[in-house]
Amino acid sequence: MFAFTSMGAKVDQSINNGSSPYIFKISGQVHHLMGSLLPPEGACPKFAQLYIYDTHNEVMNRLHAVNCNRKNEKLDQNIVQGLIKMFDESNELVKLFRTVRDKFEQGFFTPLKITLLGRQPNGNKQYEQPTCDEIGGLIVGDIGLFDSNRDIVIEFKDGGLKRITKLNPKFMSLQYPILFPYGEDGYTPDLKWNNGYKGRESKRGRIPMRAFIAYQIQERAPQLDTLLKGGRLFQQFLVDAYATLEEDRLDYIRKNQKNLRSEVYKGIYDAISKGDNDANNIGQRVMLPSSYTGSARYMVNNYQDAMAICRQYGHPDLFITFTCNIKWPEIVREFVKKPGYKPEDRPDVVSRVFKMKLDDMINYIRSGKPFGETEAGKF
């Protein structure tokens, strides 16, 4: 109802048939899409267009956008009106789009475009509330080509959809304004470690996307963790963030094939030795290294390791499948402190307890107390 962008992924609703807790499941590639500032002639406004077009009937437009089949009669107009007022007062992205609305209401018919900047002009202000002049600007008429591939350019009226780059700091704020009510910045490749950071830093000296997302979903007592209170929307955010992280890793692998010595894997040498010197017949493949979980080389390496252990020490004595139960006392005790939450609302809590109990079981088996000394294992 309030998102600026749409999620370009196929959501599988068949799994939520009432037999299990709510699960947000998607298939295919995730990408956020944004249309033009104004809808085509005769079309209803959607997503970011709702902040600009026909705002005198904004409440009904938003209700119709998410409830066009009139299946949900529980939508409260007063709550929608209150959220609109909150965003108008606090969210800098909303304020930027409202300036476009004001231009149109004043009779400014010259085509406008909005640019959401990929780089902050005054340095990164990650922990401060943004201001409109820092996040974007209005451009009149034709703006030509752009140098930065991180900027988001929203056309006046073109009828098409554009993919939002994951490297723009407003990538998540555009999709989840309720989780980021101020329009806060998200991840950018230019983020650097704090001077007092004592953990393990990457070789590039910058914060990887995985570390930033892990930082975002941590509980901090003095802060009001709006993100963690999102319920089902928080679960969707986690799925979206994971898919974005995987895409970022694949992009890095695709751009660093030479460093991974992928030409040895591609069979180019074999093709040349057979006399096939036409590059069009050879093609271009992207090889995933063994460090990428789930890749072919990852699977082969694990299989070879397991077979080597079997050759040296014999067949395994234990093959353990470890599952999770949301009624574990540790999980129940944690949700007692969080009234109103369901286990599916905080999958991060469930997964952390699961990981701790799994590590504890492995350490117990390795200690030799239940079965004696452990000769070998694949964990």
pLDDT digits (tens, 9 = 90+) for 99-143: 888 887 777 656 777 777 766 555 555 555 555 555 554 444 443
Confidence of residue 146 (pLDDT cuts 50, 70, 90): very low
The answer to whether the predicted template modeling score (pTM) of the entire model surpasses 0.85 is no
Q: Give the model's confidence band at 155: pLDDT under 50 very low, under 70 low, under 90 confident, else very high.
A: low
Query: Are 47 and 8 within 8 A, CB to CB?
Result: no
How is residue 148 written in tokens? 């930065």
Domain boundaries, the chain: 6-245, 318-379
- What is the amino acid identity at position 49? Q
56-94 in b/e form (b: 16+ CB < 10 A) is eebbebbbebeeeeeeeeeeeeeebeebbeebeeebbbb
Supply φ then ψ for residue 113, to 5 degrees. -140, 145
